[in-house]
Chain A
């Protein structure tokens, strides 16, 4: 009996009753990349999922629960793979989970109760190879033929009963996007038997077996005036002629990326300002509501401002991931990676590096984590090492401050300098990749094998869920680290207490005897001098003085040395640190404070921010590794502290030499 693909209800299986699993406890979800596996997972589990790393690996998988009549089913969404036998971290994770040697954190490692293989109905022949590999594991198996709506539009007919009979397991057609057949899939999983057929064990045999089954169980019919034969998607082909063209493809890519960044910066501005105001209001409220004391300062200026400094960049990060997810869903990003492969290859990087490097423009943390998708170890390491060169959101406050000092009243020049900072980061990254790939990471890169999926309408639900995941990971990983660093820096900047300097005592005496109109200004001046004196003599200030000789050749005095050192925790800390160190005020929102930073004086009365110092600082901040959380993530993802130390040494060394050259060149002229 031939069953048209449009019939979503599962037919009677021709499989003799096997050992059913009732109720199933844990099912692994595997499939080729771009088969809609994650969309199906989201459809089955909704928001009831969590993300976890499998112990001993760096591969992320998602775990979700499905409530069924028979009980609760736990689904483990594994990374997309073309074969279980490949030497890739993704395939290794899948093999480990199916063999029962890997389990989600906190769970006992045991073989899953079954496996659900998700296949793309429009690309069945290639997907059946993975099905064959899964069937050989002798676990209760269900095959979910996804994207059936797309296949139906192309006139594909699948003999479902024949397919079930030949595979020896339940087969369910579904569309994760529309939800069609998903309930039937859940029921099939609940009653999945062990397959009663064993596919060939050799690669060639398996491919022949897959081709035979495909030929026997599928056919293409004209279903209407717009029907197209399977594999001949004229729209995809027409678009690909432009999007993957060596020249036009790059032009389209540049236009898409420009639009993407414009949208991110334009749309994120409002929520960023809103978050900034909320945290400023919270800080003010705490100052008024809590009794005066160290704990109030700690919470108001340490904790609240520390959290605020991180959360303020969340809108940009969410927008970036949401838009990237939408682009990915349309199928364009695969083309972008293909186009970028030609550009990146001369630098020893594959097209796979494009996505992590793009993500790093929001924050290096998710960018480095995205490097897991790069199959070759050397190429993955090279990408991890250069990812922090991309100008992240945390650098933006520093760029804004310095370009506005350099080009006050000339916004066009300031914008050009801003773009120049991004360009310098990319150039440094490519140069570094070239050097590393020809020295410590020498080796032939793998040719990029990438399946170009058909163009599709993006699924907003999947994009939103993916964005939620990323936002949560960012808050958890970066927020906790940055908060801890800010708390430590606050303590180092607050202690030890020192007696007020004679200058401040004298001004206070003058204020006591002065008219009420002048008194306020005098007291403010005394407070500013005291704050500066306290900052200079704090542990952080003393450390700044100790390090000043190292940074003096770059043009930085004691105050700038403290700013540069404090921003080692997180770059954005530079602006608020400079406000504290230079002006004795923390209100960086006030334009007067930025003006005060710009007109700050050294101990000898010379201006701090000369043109040469500003350019030197800009170059330093573009190139230097000034982010402890990034180092921690590099150590974890690259598999050792040595890689984090190499990244720190290389980037900071390069930044030092470049900033020194800029200062000496501009300072001497």
Chain B
């Protein structure tokens, strides 16, 4: 009982089957589980393009 790991064709079909499996799982699992949530970016507050401290 063995996998033909020395046959390059085996790796091609395995990659395709893996992609197909990923596709199935992605369709079954709710989108919110795998979709990256948008994260807020820290930004300093400015008034007319200048930082609050400088304006003062």
Contact = CB atoms under 8 A, between A and B. Distances in A.
B44 interface: no
B9 A293 contact: yes
Contacts of A485: 20, 24
A294 B1 contact: no
Interface in B12-54: 12-14, 16-17, 20-21, 23-24, 27-30
Contacts of A480: 23
A359 B46 CA distance: 59
A613 to B, nearest CB: 30
A537 interface: yes
Chain A CB within 10 A, most for which of B1, B3, B9, B17: B17
Given A481-B27, A485-B20, A497 B13 contact: no
Contacts of A487: 16-17, 20
Contacts of B29: 641
A645 to B, nearest CB: 10
A488 B17 contact: yes
A498 B20 CA distance: 25
Contacts of B9: 293-295
Interface stretch (A15-23, A229-237, A628-636): A628-636
Interface string A383-406: 000000000000000000000000
Contacts, number: 61
Interface residues of B, number: 20
A497 B24 contact: no
A490 B14 CA distance: 10
Given A294-B13, A496-B1, A488 B28 contact: no
A294 B24 contact: no
Given A295-B12, A635-B30, A641-B30, A488 B20 contact: yes
Contacts of B3: 495-497
B27 A632 contact: yes
Contacts of A295: 9, 12-13
Nearest to B23: A484
Chain B CB within 10 A, most for which of A298, A483, A484, A631: A484
A628 B28 contact: yes
A537 B21 CA distance: 21
A491 interface: yes
Contacts of B24: 481, 484-485, 488, 628
Contacts of A537: 1
A497 B4 contact: yes
Contacts of B1: 496-498, 537
Contacts of A632: 27-28
B24 to A, nearest CB: 5
Given A295-B13, A628-B28, A641-B28, A488 B21 contact: yes
Nearest to B28: A632
A295 B7 CA distance: 11
B13 to A, nearest CB: 5
Contacts of A644: 28
Nearest to A498: B1
Contacts of A490: 17
Contacts of A483: 20
Interface in A289-333: 293-295, 298, 302
Contacts of B27: 481, 629, 632
Contacts of A641: 28-30
Given A496-B1, A496-B2, A491 B30 contact: no
Contacts of B28: 628, 631-632, 635, 641, 644
Interface string A458-502: 000000000000000000000011011101101100111110000
Contacts of A629: 27
A498 B12 CA distance: 20
Interface of B: 1-4, 7, 9-10, 12-14, 16-17, 20-21, 23-24, 27-30
Interface of A: 293-295, 298, 302, 480-481, 483-485, 487-488, 490-491, 494-498, 537, 628-629, 631-632, 635, 640-641, 644
Given A298-B16, A640-B30, 6 more contacts: A295-B9, A302-B13, A487-B17, A487-B20, A488-B17, A635-B28
7 contacts: A298-B12, A481-B24, A484-B20, A485-B20, A490-B17, A496-B1, A632-B27
Closest 9 pairs (CB-CB, A-B): A491-B17, A484-B20, A487-B20, A294-B9, A298-B13, A632-B27, A484-B23, A295-B9, A496-B1
